Amino acid sequence: MKTIDDFNFESKKALIRVDFNVPLNQDFEVTDTSRIAAATPTILKVLEDGGSAILMSHLGRPKGKVNPDMSLSHICEKVSEIIGVQVKFAEDCVGDKAKAAAGALENGEVLLLENLRFHAEEEAGDDAFAEQLSKLGDVYVNDAFGTAHRAHASTTIVAKFFPENKCFGYLLAKEIKAIEKVMQTGEKPVTAILGGAKVSSKITIIENILDKVDHLIIGGGMTYTFIKAQGGNVGDSICEDDKMDLALDILKQAKAKGVEVHLPVDVLAADDFSNEADTQFVSVDEIPDSWQGLDAGPQTLENFKKVILASKTILWNGPVGVFEMENFAKGTIAVGNAIDEATQNGAFSLVGGGDSVAAVKQFGFQDKVSYVSTGGGAMLESLEGKTLPGIAAILD
């Protein structure tokens, strides 16, 4: 696996695919800078070697048309502030403006190209567009894990124009190693905690990880499909009736492979999907009609904690309750605390995929786990066992 450490960038232009698809408020200010911060070590390595960096990214979904609201010019000052170097801006990512800006770039300087997705050719994975991008730099560096599952021009196709001079940036290399640690090289026992609303959205992950884990903790809305399938009463809780056979099959597969499945035994039920609803703790298979389970109960959390603390490798994907509402966030916080404790005791913990990352940030766990993945969809596809096109293009 070639990483940025295998290259000396002295007097070279590094064409770096970063993931600066960051949230902006109505004044076009960046409200979460973590993706910019995550790419900074890669950019600084190039500059410290005596080279220059040309950054390319998308922002939002402009659908192949120029949209001033999604211009990367809005984030240029914030990027400059975070990396500590005044970043120049090119008003396009290909064509005369991009070529002139890249050509004028001196060692130690950084150039940010305009939004790649202002050109429909980017998402189409167009060869000619990728070739135009490739002419801007000497070495191609992919450091955008968040888009590594897309075969777009800047994430995958461009790599073929750098047969020898392509590598992973620090962030993407770390992501690959973190997933490998859970899926291949992790110290046992390995525990996966899967939450979220639907079994259907996690089925391929579950099927893929059953060969790799010793314990599978299931929480969140998925719980109720499993409980109802086993004959329990789940009241008005979210439930995929058409996936009950699948849930039973997963339990059967897990048993055959010697994987212990841990389902909630009690839940915090509410008479309405609202933070102000009346609540009561009930057995998970005896939820009253017109009530719904919205968080894990105390005995469940005690059970989960025991499993987590006995684990050496932990994957957390998905909350165990409706953490966006304060009254139903306690379960997710308790799981975060248990993972924090296990990590302090020497376990390796990886958090990835949408809502669990949001929860980790909301409750301040990002520095208390071993690694927080920056890519939602890419992380999920990796856990499903797929080889991501952006990663394959560098390894090729």
pLDDT in tens, 226-239: 999 999 999 999 99
Q: What is the domain extent for residue 208? A: 186-383
**Cβ of 370: how many Cβ atoms within 10 Å?**
16
Please indicate, yes or no, if residue 181 is contained in any of the structural domains. Answer: no
Please indicate, yes or no, if residue 392 is contained in any of the structural domains. Answer: no
Q: 345 and 238 in one domain?
A: yes
Q: What is the structure's pLDDT at 381?
A: 83
Please indicate, yes or no, if residue 178 is contained in any of the structural domains. Answer: no
Please indicate, yes or no, if residue 177 is contained in any of the structural domains. Answer: no
Predicted confidence (pLDDT) at residue 375 exceeds the cutoff of 80 = no
Predicted confidence (pLDDT) at residue 240 exceeds the cutoff of 70 = yes
Report the C-alpha gap between 393 and 396 in whole angstroms.
5
Q: 138 and 258 in one domain?
A: no
Residue 353 annotated in ligand binding: yes
Report the C-alpha gap between 396 and 391 in whole angstroms.
9
184: number of CA atoms within 13 Å, CB side?
7
Of the listed 13, 17, 35, 368, which one is catalytic?
35
Please indicate whether residue 377 is annotated as part of the active site: yes
Q: 360 and 212 in one domain?
A: yes
Of 105, 137, 172, the position where a domain reaches its end is: 172
Please indicate, yes or no, if residue 148 is contained in any of the structural domains. Answer: yes
Residue 373 annotated in ligand binding: no
Q: 301 and 163 in one domain?
A: no
Q: 195 and 142 in one domain?
A: no
The predicted-structure confidence for 290-302, as pLDDT tens digits, reads as follows 999 999 999 999 9
Q: What is the CATH number of the domain that holds 102?
A: 3.40.50.1260
Residue 74 annotated in ligand binding: no
Residue 356 annotated in ligand binding: yes
Which of these ranges, 51-55, 178-182, 214-218, has the smallest mean pLDDT? 178-182
Of the listed 312, 354, 361, 385, which one is catalytic?
354
For residues 330 and 321, the answer to whether their CB atoms sit within 8 Å is yes
Residue 60 annotated in ligand binding: yes
Q: 155 and 119 in one domain?
A: yes
- Nearest Cα neighbor of 57 from 47, 42, 71 is 71
Q: What is the structure's pLDDT at 184?
A: 87
In a 10 Å sphere around its CB, with 0-12 CB exposed, 13-18 middle and 19+ buried, how is residue 31 labelled?
A: exposed
- Tell me the whole-structure pTM to 2 decimals: 0.86
Better-scored residue on pLDDT, 388 or 82:
82
Q: 297 and 164 in one domain?
A: no
- Say whether 194 sits in a helix, a strand or coil: strand
Q: 372 and 318 in one domain?
A: yes
Angle at which helix 330-344 crosses helix 354-362, to 10 degrees, equals 80
Q: 96 and 201 in one domain?
A: no
Please indicate whether residue 354 is annotated as part of the active site: yes
Q: 195 and 58 in one domain?
A: no
Angstrom distances, CA of residue 284 to CA of 34, 112, 301, 309, 338: 38, 52, 13, 23, 22
Q: What is the structure's pLDDT at 376?
A: 72
Residue 17 annotated in ligand binding: no
Of the listed 88, 97, 177, 198, which one is catalytic?
198
Q: 48 and 17 in one domain?
A: yes
Residue 305 annotated in ligand binding: no
Report the C-alpha gap between 222 and 194 in whole angstroms.
9
Please indicate whether residue 212 is annotated as part of the active site: no
User: What's the pLDDT band for 354 if we cut at 50, 70, 90?
Assistant: low
Q: What is the structure's pLDDT at 198?
A: 84
Q: How far apart are the first and last CA of the chain?
A: 10
Please indicate whether residue 63 is annotated as part of the active site: no
What percentage of the chain's residues is helix, strand, coil (to nearest 5)? 40, 15, 40
Of the listed 2, 99, 305, 377, which one is catalytic?
377
Domains of the chain: total: 2
Q: 133 and 273 in one domain?
A: no
